[in-house]
C-alpha cells in the first residue's frame, strides 16, 4: 500500500518565512486561501480586477492584488485558475515574477504534464490536490477535520519540494485525513480517464441509454426517470459508504442476482476496449490536444453537444419531477 502522510509528517514552520500567493479565488482558491490563512500562513490573493471573485475575496478579508503583483510578492505561487486559462495567465503575469528558489504550485497536473506551462529550472514545482470541491474542503476544515489530498513533485530545485507540499497540505487541513504521494502523470491521466470513462461520461450515457430503452419500449418517462436516474443516488450512496459488497447486502436478492449476471453484458468487451482507447488518448496527449484546440476556436463542439443534451427528454421530465420533491437535497 502507498504510504499515507499525517499531521506529524508535515511541518507548518516551513511556511513561516514564506509568503503564499493564491492566484484565483474560485472553488479551490477561496477554500485553500482561507484554510491556509486560518493555519497561520501568510497568504496574498492574486486576482484580475473587476471579476466576480474579487468582491468575494475582499469580503472574506483578503486584500486582493493584481496577479503579477501577488506573484512578485510571494515565495510560493499557487495557480488556482481554470486549467484552460492557466498557460496564458502564467506567461503574461507570473513567469517573469518567479525568482530562483520560489515554488510554483498546482492542484491538478494538466498544464505541467502536457507541457503547456514550462517553468524555469530553478524553481520547485509541486502539486497539492485536495480530493474534493472547494466548498467541501472549506466546510470540513471548519469542522476540524480534513479532506484527503494528493501531493506530487515535478521539479525539486531547493531539495524541499516534498516537505513544502506536505506543509501546504497540512495548512489546508488534509494531513488530518491523510495525504498520498503521486506523480503529475498519474494524477493527470487518472483524473481525465476517471471523469470520462466512469464519473461523468460513463454514468451520464448509462443513465440516458437505460432511460431511452424503457421509453422506446412504451414505459412512461416518469417511471423511467425514477428507475434510471433518481434511484442512482441511493445506490451510489450505499457504495460510497460501504463499498460494492456492502451495497449488495442492502438491496434485494433479486436485484443482487440481476446485478451479478447482467453487469458484464452491459459493460462488455467492447466497452472495455473503448476504455483502453480512451486511456491511450489521455496518455499520448491526443485528448489534451483536442481540448486545447477546441478552446482556441471558441468551443464549438462543446457548446453544441451541451445544447443538444440539455433538451433531452430525461432533462424535461426530471425538471418536472424534481419540483415535486423539493425536500430533496435537504
The binding site consists of 25-28, 48, 53, 134, 191, 195, 227, 231, 252
Q: Give the closest residue to 233 by CA, choosing from 312, 329, 313, 306.
A: 329
Among 58, 163, 186, 191, binds Mg ion (CB under 5 A): 191
Is residue 256 at the binding interface for Mg ion, with CB under 5 A as the rule?
no
Is residue 64 at the binding interface for ligand NDP, with CB under 6 A as the rule?
no
* Rounded Cα distance, 41 and 15, in Å: 7
Is residue 27 at the binding interface for ligand NDP, with CB under 6 A as the rule?
yes
Q: Pick one of ligand NDP, Mg ion, none as the site partner of residue 176 (Cβ within 5 to 8 A by kind).
A: none
Is residue 24 at the binding interface for ligand NDP, with CB under 6 A as the rule?
yes
* Rounded Cα distance, 100 and 120, in Å: 9
Question: Can you say whether residue 115 is alpha, beta or left, with left for phi > 0 and alpha for psi between -120 and 50 degrees?
Answer: left
Q: Cell 503583483 appears where?
A: 69
Of 45-53, 169-177, 242-250, 298-306, the window that binds ligand NDP (rule: CB under 6 A) is: 45-53
Is residue 80 at the binding interface for ligand NDP, with CB under 6 A as the rule?
yes
The residues, any chain, with a CB within 8 Å of residue 19's CB and separated by 6 or more, are 42, 43, 44, 73, 74, 75, 76
Return the SS3 of 156.
Answer: coil
Q: Pick one of ligand NDP, Mg ion, none as the site partner of residue 85 (Cβ within 5 to 8 A by kind).
A: ligand NDP
Asked whether 8 and 2 are in contact (CB, 8 A), the reply is no
For ligand NDP, give the closer residue by CB, 46 or 318.
46
For Mg ion, give the closer residue by CB, 191 or 294.
191
Of 8-16, 50-58, 162-170, 230-238, the window that binds ligand NDP (rule: CB under 6 A) is: 50-58
| 108 part of the active site | yes
Q: Pick one of ligand NDP, Mg ion, none as the site partner of residue 26 (Cβ within 5 to 8 A by kind).
A: ligand NDP
Of 130-138, 207-215, 238-246, 314-322, the window that binds ligand NDP (rule: CB under 6 A) is: 130-138
* Rounded Cα distance, 40 and 254, in Å: 55
Q: Where are the beta strands (DSSP E) in the chain?
A: 4-5, 19-23, 42-46, 76-79, 103-106, 124-130, 149-155, 179-181
* Rounded Cα distance, 134 and 144, in Å: 16
Q: Note the residues at the interface with Mg ion (CB under 5 A).
A: 191, 195
User: Which are the catalytic amino acids?
Assistant: 108
State the residues that interact with ligand NDP by CB under 6 A: 24-29, 47-48, 51-53, 80-83, 85, 89, 107-108, 129-130, 133-134
Amino acid at each position: 500500500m502507498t504510504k499515507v502522510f499525517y499531521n506529524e509528517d508535515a511541518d507548518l514552520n516551513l511556511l513561516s518565512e514564506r509568503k503564499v500567493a493564491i492566484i484565483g479565488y474560485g472553488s479551490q482558491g477561496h477554500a485553500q486561501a482561507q484554510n491556509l490563512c486560518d493555519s497561520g500562513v501568510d497568504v496574498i490573493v492574486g486576482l484580475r480586477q473587476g471579476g466576480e471573485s474579487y468582491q468575494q475575496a475582499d469580503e472574506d478579508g483578503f486584500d486582493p492584488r493584481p496577479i503579477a503583483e501577488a506573484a512578485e510578492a510571494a515565495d510560493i505561487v499557487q495557480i488556482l485558475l481554470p486549467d484552460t486559462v492557466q498557460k496564458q495567465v502564467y506567461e503574461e503575469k507570473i513567469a517573469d515574477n518567479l525568482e530562483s528558489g520560489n515554488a510554483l504550485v498546482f492542484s491538478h497536473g494538466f498544464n505541467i504534464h502536457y507541457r503547456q506551462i514550462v517553468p524555469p529550472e530553478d524553481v520547485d514545482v509541486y502539486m497539492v490536490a485536495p480530493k474534493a470541491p472547494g466548498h467541501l474542503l472549506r466546510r470540513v476544515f471548519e469542522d476540524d477535520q480534513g479532506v484527503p489530498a494528493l501531493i506530487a513533485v515535478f521539479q525539486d530545485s531547493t531539495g524541499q519540494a516534498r516537505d513544502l507540499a506536505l506543509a501546504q497540505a497540512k495548512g489546508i487541513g488534509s494531513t488530518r485525513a491523510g495525504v498520498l504521494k503521486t506523480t503529475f502523470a498519474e494524477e493527470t491521466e487518472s483524473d481525465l480517464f476517471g471523469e470520462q470513462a466512469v464519473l461523468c461520461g460513463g454514468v451520464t450515457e448509462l443513465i440516458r441509454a437505460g432511460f431511452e430503452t424503457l421509453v422506446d419500449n412504451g414505459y412512461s418517462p416518469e417511471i423511467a426517470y425514477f428507475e434510471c436516474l433518481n434511484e442512482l443516488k441511493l445506490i451510489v450512496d450505499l457504495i460510497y459508504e460501504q463499498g460494492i459488497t456492502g451495497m449488495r447486502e442492502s438491496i434485494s436478492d433479486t436485484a443482487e442476482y440481476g446485478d451479478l449476471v447482467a453487469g458484464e453484458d452491459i459493460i462488455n468487451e467492447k466497452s472495455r476496449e473503448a476504455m483502453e482507447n480512451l486511456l491511450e488518448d489521455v496518455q499520448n496527449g491526443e485528448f489534451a490536444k483536442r481540448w486545447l484546440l477546441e478552446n482556441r476556436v471558441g468551443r464549438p463542439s462543446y457548446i453544441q453537444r451541451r445544447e443538444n443534451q440539455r433538451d433531452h427528454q430525461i432533462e424535461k421530465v426530471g425538471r418536472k419531477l424534481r419540483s415535486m420533491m423539493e425536500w430533496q437535497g435537504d
